[in-house]
A = this chain, B = another copy of it.
């Protein structure tokens, strides 16, 4: 049996009420709070069907109904319209983000803003190195046998690493390397650099090859292998809203998952262009997050994407509002990056 409009309307009402009250919703309360134009008995029949189809369930016999993950999914896909942000929220976003002095600052402000607006846990990925280009590479002599390698990416990210040289190296040689390296790599996509780095070593004068090889290996690590994607996190305290009821009684697994950068990157970092991705409960591959939902999207200057951001909360979350906020914040951050 397919679902007619009224049944969908009932599902929407259930989701909205449950999200608002956090209590199983019964047929009588439903008709009272929504103008469905039918009697509780009719709603009950609809509910029976919805339950059979797997969109809602009863916590126990003779209790109200609660949406299942599938129910939320249907709600998100077909029953909800993305809410427009309130002027107050728009203002909050602008006020929060102006005055950021550098990338770190932008990311930190963003993640706090997002946590505050959605009242969930917020995660922001720093602009991915994999999607950046080299703006400049600097070699700073620290001692005769050590230099600091500093890479500045066009997204504003700065990475630095210490390089131990094989032997004492005059400052002029360092300057030389710096010139050669910049000539070869500046403006290149980071993803394209590894073969270029190899040619750097090959083309080097034999007596300096050893030194160059050292620098090159650290360079490679920095640029690609380590490919260290960074994250900022905020709003963990929001997990405790709604008592211990959300997250099936224990925050433990969720907190554990939040400590694993790898997991967070999987959630936030895998973004396709211009989509907002919603993962509901079981749709998360990570076991620890079976009781959580994640709303994520990409951001970047203009239409390009340099990183992801999103929020994590209980499956019982205000999807339309959250999606709207996540998108809006991503857009603002993109604009901000475009200005630099």
Contacts and interface: CB of A to CB of B under 8 A. Distances in A.
A17 B214 CA distance: 56
A70 interface: no
A321 to B, nearest CB: 22
B240 A259 contact: no
Q: How many copies does the complex hold?
A: 2
B150 A138 contact: yes
Contact of A250 (B101, B240, B256, B340): B240
A259 B158 CA distance: 25
Interface stretch (A21-29, A231-239, A263-271): A231-239
Contact of A255 (B101, B136, B162, B237): B237
Nearest to A218: B101
Contacts of A140: 136, 138, 150, 152
Interface in A69-104: 101-102
Contacts of A255: 236-237, 239-240
Contacts of A234: 259
A258 B237 CA distance: 9
A178 B240 CA distance: 50
Given A140-B152, A252-B240, A102 B258 contact: no
Contact of A102 (B101, B136, B142, B162): B162
A287 to B, nearest CB: 14
A272 to B, nearest CB: 30
Interface in A141-184: 141-142, 148, 150, 152, 156, 158, 160-162
A251 interface: yes
A99 to B, nearest CB: 13
B158 A148 contact: yes
A135 interface: yes
A259 B237 contact: yes
Interface string A201-245: 000000000000000000001000000000000111101100010
A236 B253 CA distance: 11
Given A236-B259, A237-B259, A255-B240, A152 B142 contact: yes
Nearest to A239: B255
A235 B142 CA distance: 35
Interface string A103-115: 0000000000000
Contacts of A141: 136
A235 B260 CA distance: 10
Contacts of A162: 101-102, 156, 340
A66 B150 CA distance: 55
A251 B258 contact: no
Contacts of A259: 234-237
Contacts of A138: 138, 140, 150
Interface of A: 101-102, 135-136, 138, 140-142, 148, 150, 152, 156, 158, 160-162, 221, 234-237, 239-240, 244, 250-252, 255-256, 258-259, 340
Given A101-B162, A237-B255, 12 more contacts: A101-B221, A102-B160, A136-B142, A138-B150, A148-B158, A150-B160, A158-B160, A234-B259, A236-B255, A236-B258, A237-B256, A240-B255
